């Protein structure tokens, strides 16, 4: 059996791994390579394998950097089926379609053949089969089981067994999440392909994140402010909304108007409502017993202008995307609110270097939105522990029970520094042989 690291190596994004046995040739994830651009130029290079020879693709979760090159795989003749959990398929549809315009624009801009057209996208969904967590599938002697990764709705880590060898792909591993269950325990593992996004970091404020949010809401109400929360449409918007509504219902804070102004975020919220059995017990009860859309203080803005937000002079909270202010409806909202001293902007997610979000967070006094200058008079706050990834300590704790069994761990999906740091911890603390594979490196297992 051999593994080839076709992506997720020299970049955090673009997860794509090929496994070959005497009988099988399959992929785990087929993600888009992303960086400064939503779709980097490397996405147009050929896959380092023949798409026509691939039998199956197993998808860990629906983030674009794990699914975004599926249309390309189809275009290059992939004849097989794609497998994931049911929510992953539903979410993938939203995520893939939402990115269609921007990726097609990139294809045009780079003067490359468009792999992301409707025809290829349609074929992706036609070839996509679903399964449940813990269901044992057997592909000609290859046993496959999906476990709950607790990262986003439907997210999985996947265990493969073939001829007495067991390989686990971690996908992305969840942090403590208000909506999801904890990551399942790592089952028996000989070879572990491990994500390392936060391999060199520890999350702060993990326990008291809701208390910090409570303080910020209280201040918003007291001083009649507008609280703007930029949040990723997938998972973060729903997490924050859930925390806000819980705080109101538990009477920790008075009622305050909450606007969800993110069309994709709203569609995704409806997918969360559709799959309560994939949520943790508290969130499940919450979703089953409440009709969000009927709460009198909660307002969904499907495609209206920001007029409604401007006219509402009462203290209010606006959740909108994108989370790093890379575009989306939030830009129009900022144009009106960012130069007002009675605005608070609360960042709840990682801001990548060079993003508008990062600049604001670092104290920039002036920004440009659609070619126009705006003064930043808004108050800036952050709660960084809303991360969707385990930190170094979380990863180590997850791996530890299998430390005696694991023969090798391969670190992927992280910056170089994060991987080196995590390798030191895994080797010194757990005594696990740890490898940082290079792009397209092939290793015999």
Residues 180-239 that bind Zn ion (CB under 5 A): none
3-state secondary structure of 168: strand
Q: CB burial class (10 A; 0-12, 13-18, 19+) of residue 296?
A: exposed
Least gap, CB of 258 to Zn ion (angstroms): 26
The distance of Cα 194 from the centroid of its chain, to the nearest Å, equals: 16
Least gap, CB of 78 to Zn ion (angstroms): 22
Least gap, CB of 8 to Zn ion (angstroms): 11
Least gap, CB of 34 to Zn ion (angstroms): 11
Span from 27-35, 58-66, 255-263, 433-441 in contact with Zn ion (CB under 5 A): 58-66
- Taking the least distance from each CB to Zn ion, the nearer of 175 and 409 is 175
Span from 23-31, 94-102, 167-175, 204-212 in contact with Zn ion (CB under 5 A): 167-175
- Taking the least distance from each CB to Zn ion, the nearer of 11 and 63 is 63
- Taking the least distance from each CB to Zn ion, the nearer of 172 and 239 is 172
The answer to whether the beta carbons of residues 370 and 251 sit under 8 Å apart is no
Residues 244, 245, 246, 250: is their CA dihedral positive or negative? Answer: positive
The distance of Cα 51 from the centroid of its chain, to the nearest Å, equals: 26
- Taking the least distance from each CB to Zn ion, the nearer of 8 and 71 is 8
Least gap, CB of 302 to Zn ion (angstroms): 26
- Taking the least distance from each CB to Zn ion, the nearer of 195 and 261 is 195
Least gap, CB of 389 to Zn ion (angstroms): 8
Q: Residue 20 is inside which H or E element, if any?
A: strand 16-20
| The pair of three-digit structure tokens given for residue 396, joined into one six-digit string | 């180590």
Q: Is 11 in the site for Zn ion (CB under 5 A)?
A: no
Strand order in the sheet with 2-7: 128-131, 81-85, 56-58, 25-30, 16-20, 2-7, 442-444
Site string for Zn ion, 61-100 (x = CB under 5 A): --x-------------------------------------
- Taking the least distance from each CB to Zn ion, the nearer of 4 and 389 is 389
- Taking the least distance from each CB to Zn ion, the nearer of 331 and 384 is 384
The CB-side HSE value for 93 (13 A sphere, CA atoms) comes to 15
| The pair of three-digit structure tokens given for residue 229, joined into one six-digit string | 């929360």
Cα–Cα nearest to 260, from 183, 194, 316, 206? 316
Least gap, CB of 163 to Zn ion (angstroms): 30
Least gap, CB of 216 to Zn ion (angstroms): 26
- Taking the least distance from each CB to Zn ion, the nearer of 74 and 95 is 95
> Which residue from 29, 94, 172, 261 is in contact with Zn ion, where contact means CB under 5 A?
172
Span from 125-133, 172-180, 355-363, 426-434 in contact with Zn ion (CB under 5 A): 172-180
- Quickly tell me which residue has 């813990």 as its tokens: 134
Span from 40-48, 55-63, 135-143, 244-252 in contact with Zn ion (CB under 5 A): 55-63
Cα–Cα nearest to 268, from 241, 290, 297? 241
| The pair of three-digit structure tokens given for residue 279, joined into one six-digit string | 């949520």
Phi, psi of 194 (to 5 degrees): -115, 130
Kindly determine how many residues on this chain lie close enough to bind Zn ion according to the rule CB under 5 A: 2
Least gap, CB of 413 to Zn ion (angstroms): 8
The answer to whether the beta carbons of residues 207 and 177 sit under 8 Å apart is no
- Taking the least distance from each CB to Zn ion, the nearer of 68 and 178 is 68
Residues near Zn ion (CB under 5 A) are: 63, 172
């Amino acid at each position: 059996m051999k593994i080839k690291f076709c992506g997720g190596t020299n970049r955090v994004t673009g997860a794509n791994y090929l496994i070959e046995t005497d009988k099988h040739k399959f992929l785990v994830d087929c993600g888009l390579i992303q960086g400064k651009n939503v779709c980097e130029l490397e996405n147009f290079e050929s896959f380092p394998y023949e798409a026509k020879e691939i039998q199956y693709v197993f998808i860990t979760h629906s983030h674009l950097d794990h699914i975004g090159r599926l249309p390309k795989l189809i275009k290059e003749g992939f004849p097989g089926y794609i497998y994931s959990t049911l929510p992953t398929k539903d979410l993938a549809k939203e995520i893939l379609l939402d990115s269609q315009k921007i990726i097609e624009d990139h294809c045009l801009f780079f003067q490359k053949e468009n792999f992301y057209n409707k025809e290829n996208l349609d074929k992706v969904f036609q070839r996509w089969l679903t399964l449940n967590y813990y269901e044992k599938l057997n592909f000609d002697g290859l046993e496959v089981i999906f476990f709950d990764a607790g990262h986003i709705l439907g997210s999985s880590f996947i265990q493969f067994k073939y001829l007495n060898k067991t390989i686990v792909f971690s996908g992305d591993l969840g942090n403590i999440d208000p909506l999801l269950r904890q990551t399942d325990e790592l089952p028996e593992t000989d070879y572990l392909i491990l994500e390392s996004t936060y391999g060199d970091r520890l999350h702060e404020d993990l326990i008291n994140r809701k208390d910090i949010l409570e303080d910020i809401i209280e201040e918003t109400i007291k001083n009649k402010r507008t609280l703007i929360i930029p949040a990723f449409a997938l998972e973060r918007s729903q997490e924050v909304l859930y925390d806000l509504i819980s705080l109101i219902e538990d009477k920790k804070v008075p009622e305050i108007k909450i606007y969800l102004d993110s069309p994709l975020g709203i569609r995704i919220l409806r997918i969360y409502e559709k799959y309560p059995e994939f949520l943790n017990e508290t969130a499940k009860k919450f979703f089953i017993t409440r009709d969000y859309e009927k709460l009198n203080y909660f307002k969904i803005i499907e495609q209206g202008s920001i007029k409604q937000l401007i006219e509402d002079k009462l203290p209010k909270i606006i959740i909108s995307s994108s989370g790093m202010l890379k575009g989306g409806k939030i830009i129009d909202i900022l144009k009106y609110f960012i130069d007002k001293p009675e605005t608070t902007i609360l960042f709840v997610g990682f801001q990548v270097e060079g993003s508008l979000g990062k600049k604001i967070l670092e104290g920039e006094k002036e920004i440009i939105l659609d070619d126009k200058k705006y003064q930043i008079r808004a108050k800036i706050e952050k709660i960084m522990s809303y991360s969707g990834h385990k930190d170094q300590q979380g990863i180590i704790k997850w791996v530890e029970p299998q430390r005696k069994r694991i023969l090798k761990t391969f670190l992927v999906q992280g910056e170089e520094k994060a991987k080196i740091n995590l390798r030191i911890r895994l080797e010194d603390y757990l005594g696990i042989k740890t490898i940082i594979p290079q792009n397209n490196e092939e290793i015999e297992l």
